[in-house]
Amino acid sequence: MVGGHDDMDGAMDAVRPDVEPPAPDVTAIEAVMRRAIDERRPDLLRIIGNGELTIAIRWDDGESACVIKRVPPFPERRTADEYCGLVRQSIADMTSRGVACVATGLHTLDRADGSAVVYHCQPLLTPDRLADHLLRRTQPDAELPLVTAVVDHVVRVVGDGIPMDSQFANWYWFEERPWQLDLSTPLMMTPGGDICFDTTGFVREYPAFVRRIVYKELMKMAPGFADVEWVLTDLMVQLHRSGLDAWCASVATAARARHGIELSEVLAKERFEADAKFFPTLLRLKRLQRGWVQRTGRRYDTLLPATTSFGT
Tens of pLDDT along 102-141?
A: 999 999 999 999 999 999 999 999 999 999 999 999 999 9
- Hey, is 107 helix, strand or coil? strand
pLDDT on residue 14: 81
Identify the segments of the chain with pLDDT beneath 50.
1-6, 10-11, 312
pLDDT on residue 295: 96
Say how many C-beta atoms besides its own lie within 10 A of residue 82's C-beta: 14
Q: What is the mean pLDDT of the chain?
A: 92
pLDDT on residue 170: 95
pLDDT on residue 51: 73
pLDDT on residue 9: 53
Please, which residues have CB within 8 angstroms of residue 35's CB and are 6 or more apart in sequence? 41, 44
CA atoms of 101 and 78, how far apart (whole Å): 25
Contact 265, 248 (CB under 8 A): yes
pTM of the full predicted structure?
Answer: 0.92
pLDDT on residue 4: 41
Helix (H) or strand (E) holding 232: helix 228-241
Nearest to 197 by CA among 79, 33, 30: 79
Nearest to 19 by CA among 93, 105, 96: 105
Contact 57, 30 (CB under 8 A): no
What tens digit of pLDDT does each residue of 203-212 get?
999 999 999 9
Contact 87, 197 (CB under 8 A): no
CA atoms of 159 and 196, how far apart (whole Å): 20
pLDDT on residue 55: 87
Handedness of CA 121, 125, 131, 135 (dihedral sign): positive
pLDDT on residue 11: 41
pLDDT on residue 8: 57
Contact 50, 308 (CB under 8 A): yes
Label the pairing between strands 100-101 and 177-180: parallel
CA atoms of 10 and 16, how far apart (whole Å): 15
pLDDT on residue 207: 96
The whole-angstrom distance between residue 252's C-alpha and the CA centroid of its chain comes to: 23
First to last CA, the chain: 31
Contact 261, 155 (CB under 8 A): yes
- Hey, is 222 helix, strand or coil? helix
Contact 88, 107 (CB under 8 A): no
